[in-house]
């Protein structure tokens, strides 16, 4: 590929132009969605990030628990909140600026690696890349994924060209920070260390020193988190220890489909994930475990699945590979296509420049730069290694997004080289475009979630967030919008049905809950809600059957045990009811109502001592007799309330 001059003046002018373009596009997108019902909401993981950011801004920078998820984004929010406040508009605007800087870094890397023309192509491509516009302005760590991925890329290019150890040290710091925003990015160390060992140049001693500088940089980035975790728990990276095993199992088990699925249905919130992983492992092992032992348990379960069912596992890996290159941006909480309903810029760029288009352009660029493969070996390898590492676990659009800068820096020479390619003759003219078109076609093979399913999922999540704020009318509108898009959505039917049931209309709720149960018959939370509605209509036998199925599927589902216990207690079987209430208390020790109901059931089963052990104090208790009277009154007051 021909290389035009890349001067300091080019760096400044092209970098400035790319920054302005990227920032303007992102700010116009933010302005477009400002009136959307989701604009100020923190949905899913974003709610947890928000709370941690608020705590940091209030002065609690250390925290009290080990990190289970990547910790850098909450600290980023803490800094933003401290400086500018926590308003949704403020955060989105700041993130738009960070995203624009990412575009500049990739343009600089492309200019240094190739030419001024390629730098312009790279900067404009990333500035207008639909998924980047979306991910840069949502309340997720994706904005930092792109930034630290872009920074790592630029520093690696500088290290390749200058061979200066201090640049490798800086690249190591950037990679360490990248790992603190997207855990699986650490796999990129493998091709980088191989490149240092084989191509960095000089003596073996010089290459070993270069590798040491790189690893020292990574260690510098991770050190604050390690010290912080050691101060809190005595372990250096306990959350990272556990996360490897559990994430490997989630991506590779008999029920896996290539996406993230929580161990316990409906408990994908960060507040539950770590606890559930520990509890399930300890239940299976029959003893208390260290975090390393919990991780080992899940690794062992994964290995057992692969060994016992190799054909199924290979089919699953093929499906995950297809998902990893698919054009659709699969979402776990909020999706690009719902945002595009409110943002013309995102609607256009998301359609014209999807992941499938970017991947095809990167393949074209790799083909055109193949004659320089020795010089570019590292940069050809990085996106392949990242995507392979992703497939080993599970796939979502925002988990795939960190590969973007490494694809853009390859796609840009593909774009810049098109005019020369069209003038060529023979096989060279055909091979690259043919490969790109094949990848583009593969990326559009239907696999996984459809755009309609993703939009319905987002509207249901937005409705749940609005309901949590107390706005039931707005929540109901979101649930109904979800059902307009996808009438079969189990999630939307469940959420709307349960909302209607809690408003005092179980008869109107029942059709929605029945549709939810048909769509997802093994979801214990849907079975629980269905059972509660049936009980409210007096269909207690059917209700009990649904609730028993729920606790069989998820023995730790406190709500189902509580509701089943209430039904059993009504049928004059306090001993059996006490068993369900006890399991509810074990699953959620902080549930005071479950504890009081357990006390009531024990009392009705003539176990006064056991009942008193569950209730610290009750007004007017002066003897076992008065305690019994108080507990008996309490029990019937609670039972007549019906299922929660």
In percent, the amount of the chain with pLDDT more than 90 equals 62
- Contact indicator for 611, 631 with CB cutoff of 8 Å: yes
CB count, 10 Å around CB of 459?
A: 30
**58-67, 419-428, 612-621: least confident range:** 612-621
**Terminal CA-to-CA distance of the chain, rounded, Å?**
68
Query: What pLDDT was estimated at residue 61?
Result: 82
- Contact indicator for 457, 268 with CB cutoff of 8 Å: no
CA atoms within 13 A on the CB side of 250: 25
CB count, 10 Å around CB of 113?
A: 28
**Residue 233 pLDDT exceeds 70:** no
d(CA 367, CA 414): 8
- Say which residue, 382 or 575, is predicted with more confidence: 382
d(CA 366, CA 380): 7
- Contact indicator for 525, 557 with CB cutoff of 8 Å: yes
Q: Tell me the average pLDDT of the chain.
A: 88
Highest mean pLDDT among 470-484, 572-586, 590-604, 624-638: 470-484
- Contact indicator for 346, 129 with CB cutoff of 8 Å: no
- Contact indicator for 273, 279 with CB cutoff of 8 Å: no
Q: Band of the pLDDT at 5, cuts 50, 70, 90?
A: low
pTM value is 0.89
Instruction: Tell me how far the alpha carbon of residue 423 is from its chain's centroid.
Output: 45
Residue 246 tokens, joined? 């559990």
Closest C-alpha to 533, from 569, 581, 493: 493
Query: What pLDDT was estimated at residue 577?
Result: 83
d(CA 577, CA 452): 43
**Residue 40 pLDDT exceeds 90:** yes
**Residue 38 pLDDT exceeds 90:** yes
**Residue 492 pLDDT exceeds 60:** yes
Instruction: Tell me how far the alpha carbon of residue 488 is from its chain's centroid.
Output: 24
In percent, the amount of the chain with pLDDT more than 70 equals 90
What are the C-alpha distances in Å from 438 to residues 368, 435, 636? 16, 5, 69
Residue 144 tokens, joined? 């930092």
d(CA 310, CA 316): 10
Query: What pLDDT was estimated at residue 277?
Result: 83
* DSSP letter (8 states) at residue 265: T
Q: Band of the pLDDT at 605, cuts 50, 70, 90?
A: confident
Residue 410 tokens, joined? 């390859």
What are the C-alpha distances in Å from 39 to residues 74, 87, 94, 339? 19, 10, 15, 9
- Say which residue, 424 or 549, is predicted with more confidence: 549
Residue 71 tokens, joined? 């910790």
Q: pLDDT tens digit string along 153-205?
A: 999 999 999 889 899 999 999 999 999 999 889 999 999 999 999 887 778 88
Q: pLDDT tens digit string along 508-563?
A: 999 999 999 999 998 999 999 999 999 999 898 899 999 999 999 888 888 899 88
* DSSP letter (8 states) at residue 187: G
CB count, 10 Å around CB of 16?
A: 11
**Residue 618 pLDDT exceeds 60:** no
User: Which residues does 394 contact at the CB level (< 8 Å), separation at least 6?
Assistant: 247, 250, 251, 256, 258, 259, 260, 320
**Residue 240 pLDDT exceeds 70:** no
Show the domains of the chain with their CATH numbers: 8-236+328-443 (no CATH), 450-533 (1.25.40.10), 555-644 (1.25.40)
Q: pLDDT tens digit string along 387-399?
A: 999 999 999 999 9
**Residue 617 pLDDT exceeds 60:** no
d(CA 143, CA 72): 11
Query: What pLDDT was estimated at residue 73?
Result: 94
Closest C-alpha to 641, from 611, 596, 605, 606: 596
- Contact indicator for 211, 181 with CB cutoff of 8 Å: no
Residue 365 tokens, joined? 């660029």
- Say which residue, 434 or 575, is predicted with more confidence: 434
């Amino acid at each position: 590929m021909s290389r035009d001059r890349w001067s300091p003046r080019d760096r400044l002018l092209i970098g400035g132009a790319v920054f302005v373009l990227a920032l303007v596009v992102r700010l116009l997108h933010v302005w477009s969605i400002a009136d959307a019902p989701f604009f100020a909401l923190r949905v899913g993981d974003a709610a947890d990030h928000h709370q941690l950011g608020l705590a940091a801004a209030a002065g609690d920078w250390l925290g009290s628990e080990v990190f289970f998820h990547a910790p850098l984004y909450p600290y980023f929010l803490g800094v933003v909140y401290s400086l500018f406040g926590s308003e949704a508009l403020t955060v989105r605007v700041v993130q738009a600026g960070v995203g624009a800087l990412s575009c500049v870094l990739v343009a600089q890397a492309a200019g240094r690696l190739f030419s001024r023309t390629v730098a312009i192509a790279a900067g404009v491509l990333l500035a207008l890349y639909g998924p980047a516009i979306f991910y840069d302005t949502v309340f997720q760590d994706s904005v930092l994924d792109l930034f630290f991925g872009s920074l790592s890329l630029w520093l690696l290019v500088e290290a390749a060209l200058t061979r200066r150890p201090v640049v490798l040290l800086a690249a190591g710091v950037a990679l360490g920070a990248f790992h603190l925003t997207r855990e699986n990015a650490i796999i990129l160390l493998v091709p980088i260390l191989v490149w240092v060992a084989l191509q960095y140049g000089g003596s073996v001693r010089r290459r070993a020193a270069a590798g040491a500088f790189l690893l020292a940089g990574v260690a510098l980035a991770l050190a604050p988190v390690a010290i912080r975790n050691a101060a809190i728990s005595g372990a250096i990276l306990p959350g990272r220890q556990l996360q490897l095993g559990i994430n490997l199992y989630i991506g590779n088990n008999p029920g896996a489909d290539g996406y993230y699925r929580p161990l316990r249905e409906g408990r994908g919130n960060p507040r539950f994930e770590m606890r559930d992983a520990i509890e399930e492992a300890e239940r299976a092992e029959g003893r208390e475990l260290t975090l390393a032992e919990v991780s080992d348990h899940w690794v062992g379960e994964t290995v057992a699945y692969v060994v016992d069912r190799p054909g199924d596992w290979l089919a699953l890996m093929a499906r995950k590979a297809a998902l990893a290159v698919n054009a659709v941006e699969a979402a776990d909480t909020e999706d690009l296509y719902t945002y595009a309903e409110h943002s013309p810029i995102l609607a256009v760029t998301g359609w014209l420049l999807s992941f499938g288009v970017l991947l095809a352009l990167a393949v074209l660029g790799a083909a055109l730069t193949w004659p320089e493969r020795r010089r570019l070996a590292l940069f050809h390898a990085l996106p392949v290694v990242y995507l392979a590492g992703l497939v080993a676990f599970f796939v979502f659009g925002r988990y795939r997004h960190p590969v973007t800068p490494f694809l853009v820096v390859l796609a840009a020479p593909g774009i810049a080289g098109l005019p020369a390619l069209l003038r060529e003759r023979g096989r060279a003219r055909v091979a690259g475009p043919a490969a790109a078109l094949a990848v583009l076609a593969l990326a559009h093979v239907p696999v996984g979630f459809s755009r309609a399913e993703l939009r319905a999922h987002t509207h249901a999540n937005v409705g749940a967030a609005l309901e949590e704020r107390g706005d039931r009318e707005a929540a109901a509108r979101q649930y109904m919008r979800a059902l307009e898009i996808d009438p079969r959505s189990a999630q939307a039917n469940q959420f709307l049905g349960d909302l209607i049931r809690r408003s005092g209309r179980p008869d109107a709720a029942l059709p929605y809950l029945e549709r939810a149960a048909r769509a997802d018959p093994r979801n214990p939370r849907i079975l629980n809600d269905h059972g509660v509605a049936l009980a409210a209509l007096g269909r207690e036998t059917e209700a009990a059957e649904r609730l028993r199925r729920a606790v069989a599927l998820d023995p730790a589902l406190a709500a189902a045990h509580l509701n089943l216990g209430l039904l059993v207690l009504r049928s004059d079987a306090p001993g059996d009811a006490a068993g369900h209430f006890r399991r509810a208390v074990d699953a959620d020790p902080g549930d005071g109502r479950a504890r009081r109901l357990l006390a009531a059931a024990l009392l009705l089963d003539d176990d006064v001592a056991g009942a008193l052990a569950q209730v610290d104090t009750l007004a007017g208790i002066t003897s076992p007799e008065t305690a019994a009277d108080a507990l008996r009154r309490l029990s019937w007051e609670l039972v007549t309330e019906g299922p929660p």
